[in-house]
């Protein structure tokens, strides 16, 4: 068969290139059109389940953040308080919710520890949720009644060492971070404090104030008013470094020379497993912006919190590390509930 002339072959090649360019342009336009047609998140109100009663620290954080996020996202963030079962009731609701980005959980460290302590084990605090971001961190604070002979954390530990099982501490409940922080102190300082659990921090603080219990490990928000009023004596914070809200208080680690002692409270946001990545990244990104704002930092400082805003990947690693660490403490101390 005769071959086409050189000019004809050149025309065919150029025509092919034009056809390919047109085809690629059509595909790109189609892709851009599909992307543009994809609805922006969120298109309707988002429900934020808070597994604690209204008025507490987690609820305060949830309501502040929901208002700020609603202004940015253009959709209402509805705070839904679902207390019960050490925070597990609300968490179970989120686990079972549709993974569409419209049901979120205001989580805390208890979301990880409570199911480990529970005999029922309704969920795994790491495996059964999609991490979005950590919101805030805050210490627990060791407190004693002003009549206590212990004026420092070192003197408190020495008193407990001299009187094994005779010095009690109150906490906000079995398996709470306050309870676990006390057990960690027992282990690392070689003492034997007795544990008296309460249904929440406020009643425990009242009994320490009244002299019925000698000490308590309390969350910052509950402790600050009593410290500022001089009604309870603060000994140390449980974070790895000193805390801005109480800068004169040493850490437990430095006060009694036990490197590695840390029992930090934190709040964060989780979603059901399978939630679209776009929704998770949108919330995480906007939360980081809110937390970096000067007015947010000022507000959190008054409440006794520090902002975090770490991205989903870092939050996932932190949660896994916390689960591993506290599981070992819970097992070794034989802590269980239900």
pLDDT for 240: 94
- Report the pLDDT value the prediction gives residue 38, as an integer from 0 to 100: 56
Report how far residue 293's alpha carbon sits from residue 286's, in angstroms, rounded to the nearest whole number: 11
Q: 188 lies in a domain? A: yes
Q: Choose from 5-19, 34-48, 198-212 the range with maximum mean pLDDT.
A: 198-212
- Under the banding of pLDDT at 50, 70 and 90, the label for residue 57 is confident
Reply yes or no on whether the pLDDT at 26 is more than 70: no
**Same structural domain, 101 and 160:** no
Phi, psi of 307 (to 5 degrees): -75, 155
With respect to residue 328, please indicate whether it lies within any of the assigned structural domains. Answer: yes
Could you tell me the pLDDT band of residue 312, with boundaries at 50, 70 and 90?
very high
**Domain boundary at 212, 240, 256, which?**
256
Is 205 a domain residue?
Answer: yes
Average pLDDT over residues 311-321: 98
Query: Tens of pLDDT along 93-117?
Result: 999 999 999 999 999 999 999 999 9
Same domain, 194 and 252: yes
Domains in the chain, number? 2
- Residue 250, pLDDT > 60, answer yes
The mean predicted confidence, pLDDT, of the chain is 90
Q: Check whether residue 96 and residue 166 sit in a common domain.
A: no
Domain that holds residue 91: 46-137+264-333
Share of the chain above pLDDT 70, in %: 88
* CATH code at position 295: 3.40.190.150
Could you tell me if 207 and 116 lie in one domain?
no
Last residue of a domain, which of 233, 256, 279? 256
- 127 and 144 share a domain? no
pLDDT in tens, 62-91: 999 999 999 999 999 999 999 988 899 999
CA dist., res. 148 & res. 131, Å (int): 43
- Res 131: pLDDT: 98
150 and 98 part of one domain = no
- For residues 44, 48, 53, 58, the Cα torsion angle rounded to the nearest 10 degrees is -140
Rounded distance between C-alpha atoms, residue 83 and residue 22, angstroms? 60
Answer yes or no: do 203 and 246 share one domain: yes
Residues 294, 216 share a domain = no
The confidence score (pLDDT) of residue 132 equals 98
CATH of the domain at 241: 3.40.190.10
C-alpha 271: how far from chain center: 13
User: Quick one: average pLDDT of 306-312?
Assistant: 97
Residue tagged 């506290």 (tokens): 326
Same domain, 173 and 225: yes
Cα–Cα distance between 338 and 254 in angstroms, integer?
Answer: 36
pLDDT digits (tens, 9 = 90+) for 234-245: 999 999 999 988
Q: Are residues 221 and 298 in the same domain?
A: no
Q: Where are the alpha helices (DSSP H) in 38-134?
A: 57-73, 88-96, 109-117
Q: What is the pLDDT of residues 275-308, one digit of tens each?
A: 999 999 999 999 999 999 999 999 998 888 999 9
Q: Which residues contact 218 (CB under 8 A, 6 or more apart)?
A: 140, 141, 143, 172, 178, 201, 204, 205
Position 12 confidence tier, pLDDT thresholds 50, 70, 90: very low
pLDDT of residue 25: 47
């Amino acid at each position: 068969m005769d071959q086409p002339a050189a000019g004809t072959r050149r025309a065919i090649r150029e025509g092919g290139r034009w056809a390919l360019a047109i085809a690629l342009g059509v595909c790109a336009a189609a892709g851009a059109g599909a992307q543009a047609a994809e609805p922006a998140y969120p298109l309707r109100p988002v429900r934020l389940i808070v597994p604690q009663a209204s008025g507490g620290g987690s609820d305060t954080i949830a309501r502040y953040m929901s208002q700020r996020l609603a202004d940015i996202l253009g959709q209402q963030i509805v705070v839904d308080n679902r207390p019960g079962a050490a925070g597990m009731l609300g968490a179970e609701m989120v686990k079972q919710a549709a993974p569409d980005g419209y049901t979120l959980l205001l989580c805390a460290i208890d979301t990880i520890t409570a199911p480990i302590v529970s005999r029922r084990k309704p969920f795994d605090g790491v495996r059964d949720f999609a991490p979005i971001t950590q919101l805030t961190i805050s210490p627990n604070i060791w407190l004693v009644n002003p009549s206590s002979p212990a004026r420092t954390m070192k003197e408190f530990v020495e008193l407990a060492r001299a009187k094994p099982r005779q010095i009690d501490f109150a906490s906000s409940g079995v398996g709470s971070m306050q309870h676990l922080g006390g057990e960690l102190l027992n282990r690392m300082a070689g003492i034997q404090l007795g544990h008296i659990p309460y249904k929440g921090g406020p009643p425990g603080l009242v009994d320490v104030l009244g002299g019925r219990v000698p000490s308590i490990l309390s969350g910052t928000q509950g402790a600050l008013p009593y410290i500022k009023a001089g009604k309870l004596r603060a000994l140390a914070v449980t974070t790895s470094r000193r805390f801005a809200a109480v800068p004169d208080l040493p850490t437990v680690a430095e006060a009694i020379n036990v490197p590695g002692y840390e029992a930090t409270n934190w709040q964060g946001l989780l979603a059901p497993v399978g939630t679209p990545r776009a929704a998770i990244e949108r919330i995480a990104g906007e939360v980081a912006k809110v937390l970096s704002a000067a007015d947010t930092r000022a507000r959190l400082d008054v409440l006794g919190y520090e902002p975090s805003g770490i991205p989903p990947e870092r939050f996932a690693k932190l949660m896994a590390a916390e689960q591993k660490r506290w599981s070992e403490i819970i097992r070794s101390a034989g802590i269980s509930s239900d």
